[in-house]
Amino acid sequence: MQSAMLLSGCFPPAALAAASKATTRRRKEGKKTTTTLTTTRALSLRTHDFGDVASSSKSFAYYYSKKSPTLMMNCIIGERRRQRQRQKGLAAERKTFAAFGSSVGSSSSPRVASSAAAGGFSLKTGFSTLAPGPRTAVLFSLWYFFNIVFNVYNKSTLNVFPYPWLISTLQLAATSIWMLVVWATGIQEKPKVSKTFLIAVLPVAFFHMVGHVSACVSFSKMAVSFTHVIKAAEPVFSVILSGPLLGTTYSPAVWASLIPIVLGCSMAAMKEVSFSISGFNGAMISNLAMVLRNITSKKQLNDFKSIDGINLYGILGIVGLFYLVPAAVYMEGSQWAAGWSAAVAKVGAEKLYQMLFLSGIFYHLYNQVSYQALTGISPVTFSVGNSLKRVAVIVASVIYFRNPVSPLNAAGSGLALLGAYLYTKASEKKK
C-alpha cells in the first residue's frame, strides 16, 4: 500500500492496476515481498526497506517497455532520486538521535561535550548553534550589557558602602565559587594543574589582583566615566614596558597613537568634577598592573597552553583571592563593622546584600563572556570591541548617574578613546 502511494503520482491507473495484478500473482506463487518498518521509540524515527518499490518497479518496467520506453526510464530515474532523498533524510535523523541519546545517556563532562556537539550551549564556546557572525554579535552584546550592569551596581554599592578592598574581595570570591561549582558539576572541564603551573601562575595572579582592587579603589573615589577614561591609557604602559621586558619593538604609528591618549586624559582631568588624586592613582596603578599581568603571562605561562582562557581566569581569581583577603583585612578590616551599620541604616540589610551579590555575579559574568567572545575572533577584533565597550560603559554611566560633563571633559574623553582605537589599528598593521 505504501509503495502504491509513493508511486501513484508518477504512474497512471492502468499501470497501477497492472502492478497490483502482478504483485498478487507473485504472492500466490509464493514469492514474498517484504517491507521492513523499524521504529526507534525515543524519537519515532522510521527506516524503510524499499523492497515493494523495487518489486513494483519491475511490473512498471514491463508495462512501460511495451508502451513508452522513454517515459518508463524517466519515471524509474525520478523514483530512485526520491528514494535517495528519503534515505538521506533518515540518515540525518539517525545522527540527531545518536547525539541526543549520547547526551542523555552519559554524565558529567562527556554529557556536556555531546550536548555541545549536538548544537547546545557550552560554557567554553557559548551559543554553539549560532553561525560565527551572529554568535559573536550575541556574545559582544552580553559582554557590553554585563559590563554596564556591573559598573552600575559596583558604583552604587561603593556609594553606600565605600570599602573597595572588601568589595573587590567579594567579587573575586564570587568568581572562585562559580568556577569551583562548574568544575565540580562537570559543566566546565576541570583543568589539569601541576605544581610547576601553580608556581608559574603566582606572579600573574598577583598582578591580576592588584589591577582589580586598584580599579575598584578608583571607582570608589571618582566617577565611573572618568575612571574608564584613565583606564583607556593602558596602551601607553604596554608600549613602554613591552620593549625592555619582552624585547618588543613598535612602529612609529603605534608610538604616534599614544599622543592623543595622553592629551585626551589630560584634557578630561582638567575639568573633571569628581577628580581625586587617590582615584587617579588607583586607575593608573590598575593600568600598570594589568600590563604587567599580560607580560608575565606571556613569559610564565607560554608552556601551559592546554589550560584555556576561562579556566585560567578562574585560577587567577582563586589564587588572587588568597593574596587579597589578608591585604583587605589589613587595609580596611577595622572599619568594616561601623561602615556596615551605616550602610544598613541607609538602604537596609536586604538591599545591601542584594547589591553586593549582584556586583559579584556580574563581575564574573562580564569577564567570562569576554573570554567566550574571544573564541573564534582575532585579538585585534577583541581589542576594538573592548575599546567600543569602554565607550558604551562611559555613556551609560553618565546617563545613569547623571554626572556633569563639560565640553572640555567630553572632548578629552573622546580624544583618549580615539587614541586607544588608533593604537589597536596600528598594532594590527604591525602584525
Span 264-280, pLDDT tens digits: 888 888 777 788 999 99
Write the DSSP string, 328-345: HHHHHGGGHHHHHHHHHH
d(CA 344, CA 128): 44
pLDDT of 224: 92
d(CA 318, CA 300): 18
pLDDT of 118: 35
pLDDT of 70: 61
> Which parts of the chain register pLDDT below 70?
1-79, 82-132, 375-380, 429-431
How many Å is the maximal CA-CA distance in the chain?
Answer: 105
d(CA 300, CA 271): 42
CA-based torsion, 379, 380, 383, 385: positive or negative: negative
Q: Which residues 6+ apart lie within 8 Å of 304 measured at CB? A: 197, 200
For helices 379-401 and 132-160, the axis angle rounded to 10 degrees is 40
Q: Count of CB atoms within 10 A of residue 44's CB?
A: 9
d(CA 188, CA 68): 65
Q: Tell me, yes or no, if the pTM score tops 0.75.
A: no
Which backbone phi and psi does 261 adopt, to 5 degrees?
Answer: -65, -50
Q: What is the dihedral of CA 355, 359, 365, 371, to 10 degrees?
A: 170
